[in-house]
Amino acid sequence: MTIYILNGPNLNLLGKRQPEIYGRETLEDVERLCAEAAGEVPVKLLQTNWEGQMIDWIHEARDRARGIVINPAAWTHTSVAVLDALNAYEGPVIEVHISNVHKREAFRHHSYVSLRADGVIAGLGIEGYALAVRRVLTLLG
Ligand code: DHK
């Protein structure tokens, strides 16, 4: 079974959008780092700008993914629906933010997803995804 690497809104523009905050690396770079970190375990990187699609992927993960690494992007701070979907998932969940959300606007300091996540990584750039994958593997034993 796979590890899902789920990405929320606007992360399709990673590398182009506000590079001073999110860096110049792309989601393809994220996928490569995650695959390296996972070794033999397959990873599946997905991105959507649609909240319902994200929820459907989290539901799908119940049967298909051993663990989830999720950067919910703006839904971190707004979405009870994403939290509820993650609460219906039984495997390890690690929340990742590329930027240090705690150094930014106050509305980014609260995360609904953190109520479910087994760990949270913020401000380490895209390296955070690779560390999150390693943590998922550790939690899976
Ligand atoms: C990405 C976003 O798009 C923001 O909405 C979050 C997160 C932070 C990140 O740092 O990866 O507030």
Strand, coil or helix: 71:
strand
pTM for the structure as a whole: 0.98
Query: Is residue 1 over pLDDT 90?
Result: no
The domain spanning residue 132 has which CATH number? 3.40.50.9100
Question: What is the pLDDT averaged over residues 92-121?
Answer: 98
Taking residues 96-108, what's their average pLDDT?
Answer: 98
Q: How far is the CA of 59 from the centre of ligand 1 (A)?
A: 22
Cβ of 7 closer than 6 Å to ligand 1, yes or no, is no
Q: pLDDT by residue (tens digit) across 38-84?
A: 999 999 999 999 999 999 999 999 999 999 999 999 999 999 999 99
Cβ contacts of 67 within 8 Å, gap of 6 or more: 3, 4, 91, 92, 93, 94, 136, 137, 139, 140
Q: Does any ligand 1 atom lie closer than 6 A to the CB of residue 99?
A: yes
- Residue-level length of the chain: 141
CB of 116 sitting under 6 A from ligand 1: no
Report, as an integer, the average pLDDT of 129-137.
98
Domain that holds residue 34: 2-140
Q: How many domains does the chain have?
A: 1
Does the active-site annotation cover 129? no
The pLDDT tens digits of the residues spanning 11-28 come to: 999 999 999 999 999 999
